[in-house]
Structure 1
Amino acid sequence: MSNRAKHRGGRRHHPNVSLASVARDQALSLAPDSPVLAMFKQAAIQLNDRQDRHERLVKLSRDITIESKRIIFLLHSAITKESIEKTVQEAKERLNKLVKGPLKHIGLELEKCPAYLHLRAVTAGFQEYVEAWTLCSLMETKQIISYREVQEELQYIIMTPVEGQDDPKHRTVTTLLPQNEYMLGISDLTGELMRRAINSISSGDSEECVFSGQVVRDLYTGFLGLFGICKELARKMGTTRSNVLKVESAVYALRVRGGEAPATLLLPPPQPHDWEQTNHSDDEGFYGIN
């Protein structure tokens, strides 16, 4: 019997060697001043710095989202025409605080790194801020603030003192707002206009209901021409179409059946003191809708 036949069915025993053990042995064999070890230490520092920056941006975006939702809730509380001017002015002051606060810090955080690298960390805050700003401008001037106007407000002049010089050094920092985020915020605006149109019916303001409905239809028509350029925008088209159908149903009921009911049967607007005495939650019920 040959040796080949003798060992044909036998098992070969290999030492228990894993990739981790080989890497550990190689790392222990490296000298403390090895350039390879220094390269990996530098990579670890950069990854930790990137993760810390991402966490700070997530917190800033969360603060922007919460405050923007509160501003939207404030704008919806303005039911009568007399209270709209005061409410819009207060909303603009709170929006300016967002521009000079969290949005400015986002620009400083992303000053020396690619802005799109951390876009997923700030996308929710950007969209909610655009939604609040556009709703405020629409209630004030009946026009939606443009992308260029929003981007111009996110430019800051930073003054840095220079040692040995009296005049500080000036530099411009811009918080980049991608155009896709602006369009996604406009898409969310259709839901707020739908709510405003329905709420205006209960207060007897038929003109506001028709105006909000027309804006929602115009926005949906414009979005149809942009279908396919943004995956997130395509996902929101179903919600936008649903908002159009709800507004059209409300306007239809107001036009066809509204004339059958006298104005005295419409629900009168609540008094300001009754609204202020009511305890409202910070959660406006918008989570999961947009």
Structure 2
Amino acid sequence: METSNTIVTNIFKPFQHHINAEQDLREEIRNIMKDIEKPLREIITQLQVIHHKENCEQIGVACQKSRELFEEVRNGFDRLDKIIPEGQYYRYNDHWRYPTQRLCFLAALIVYLEKGFLIEKDTAAQIIGMDGKEHLHLDLEDYLMGLLNLATELSRFAVNSVTYGNYNRPLEISKFVAELNAGFRLLNLKNDSLRKRFDALKYDVKKIEEVVYDLSIRGLLPGGDQASTEPTSDTQDS
């Protein structure tokens, strides 16, 4: 007859194998994410040109180089997809959630710089390499976080564009971010982190409005498109 100590040992002994296997998997995930984060940082560096150079050709070159770097990102997610167990996406996604949000933001920024419109979720998934995967997918929250980060980056872009004498760019950005803000207001956000980040969007909108208004009262907006009212002091709560 087995003793109580033997019974407990037999129960707990397999647990260590499970713990070791999970630790090994997480280490492998971390190594793959390091390979993904390297081109991510390089893409960020490439796109910083928008804050230092107003030359459209240089911005176009930066976008093209960034798209080439995304190939490394896609290769990384291909490898990651092969090691994630079936149905375990949310068990391990803390490893790639934040990088994915950053990648969505960068993909959105490239599309805006190239085309001037908002990236769709499916297109973002294709660019970063999360489309058509067996075990990975682009989470809606990560996509929306990327768009909110885009608004913040564009508010900075609007200010720096004035520095380089492009007075039309802030007006274009103002219209785009206002439309983005209107889109988010259609959502009834319950997620705490997403809701908190969305609350900061009103400050991005206000900052850009102030840039446009300042240009307006100085008579610097192109085509006589001058503002008749001051920027809103606050954005209405959704």
Query: Shorter-chain TM-score: what band?
Result: 0.7 to 0.9
Which letter does structure 1 place at the counterpart of 2:130?
L
CA 1:124 to 1:65, structure 2 compared with 1: closer, same or farther past 3 Å?
farther
C-alpha separation between the residues in 1 aligned to 2:124 and 2:104? 8
User: Which residue number corresponds to residue 19 of structure 1?
Assistant: none
Higher strand share: 1
Structure 1: segments with no counterpart, 5+ residues: 1-24, 157-171, 261-290
From 140, 148, 154, the equivalent of 2:130 is 154
Query: What value does the CA root-mean-square deviation take over the aligned residues?
Result: 2.5
From 118, 139, 144, the equivalent of 2:113 is 139
User: Which residue number corresponds to residue 183 of structure 2?
Assistant: 222
Deviations, residues 118-170 of structure 1 (Å, cap 9, x unaligned): 122211111001011110111111122211123344246xxxxxxxxxxxxxx
Q: Secondary structure at the match of 2:118?
A: coil
CA 1:146 to 1:111, structure 2 compared with 1: closer, same or farther past 3 Å?
farther
Contact kept in structure 2, 1:184 and 1:232, CA below 8 Å: no
User: Which residue number corresponds to residue 283 of structure 1?
Assistant: none
Higher helix share: 2
User: Which residue number corresponds to residue 69 of structure 2?
Assistant: 94
Contact kept in structure 2, 1:64 and 1:98, CA below 8 Å: yes
Which letter does structure 2 place at the counterpart of 1:90?
K
User: Which residue number corresponds to residue 48 of structure 2?
Assistant: 76
CA 1:120 to 1:183, structure 2 compared with 1: closer, same or farther past 3 Å?
same
Q: Secondary structure at the match of 1:226?
A: coil
C-alpha separation between the residues in 2 aligned to 1:179 and 1:126? 11
Greater Rg by CA: 1
C-alpha separation between the residues in 2 aligned to 1:250 and 1:221? 20
User: Which residue number corresponds to residue 214 of structure 2?
Assistant: 253
Q: CA deviation at 1:65?
A: 4.5
C-alpha separation between the residues in 2 aligned to 1:215 and 1:55? 41
Q: CA deviation at 1:66?
A: 5.4
Question: What TM-score, normalized by structure 2, do the two folds share?
Answer: 0.79
Identity within the alignment, %:
22
Q: Which runs of 4+ in 1 moved over 6 A?
A: none
Question: What TM-score, normalized by structure 1, do the two folds share?
Answer: 0.66
Q: CA deviation at 1:54?
A: 2.8
C-alpha separation between the residues in 1 aligned to 2:105 and 2:215? 27
